[in-house]
């Protein structure tokens, strides 16, 4: 997605930089998604007794 933005504005050859940035963003999103998913799975269920 970021590479298309760079190609739209045609500001030099930024293909390598955008590819690196794109992979970093994908890695961070996967990490955050995993943290959120593990919190949902490992959250204890609390019940209030009568």
Q: Using one digit for the tens of pLDDT, what is the confidence trace for 1-50?
A: 556 666 666 666 677 878 888 999 999 988 888 887 777 776 666 777 75
Would you state the pLDDT for residue 9? 64
Confidence at residue 36, expressed as pLDDT on a 0 to 100 scale? 77
d(CA 37, CA 23): 21
Q: How far is CA 44 from CA 9, 38, 39, 47, in A?
A: 49, 12, 9, 10
| Predicted local confidence at residue 18, as pLDDT | 81
- Give the pLDDT score at 10: 65
Residues 6 or more apart in contact with residue 21 via CB below 8 angstroms: 2
pLDDT for 24 equals 92
């Amino acid at each position: 997605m970021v590479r298309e933005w760079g190609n739209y504005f045609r500001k030099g050859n930024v293909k390598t930089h955008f590819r690196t940035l794109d992979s970093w963003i994908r890695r961070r999103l996967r990490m955050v998604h995993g943290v959120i998913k593990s919190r949902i799975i490992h959250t204890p269920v609390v019940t209030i007794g009568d």
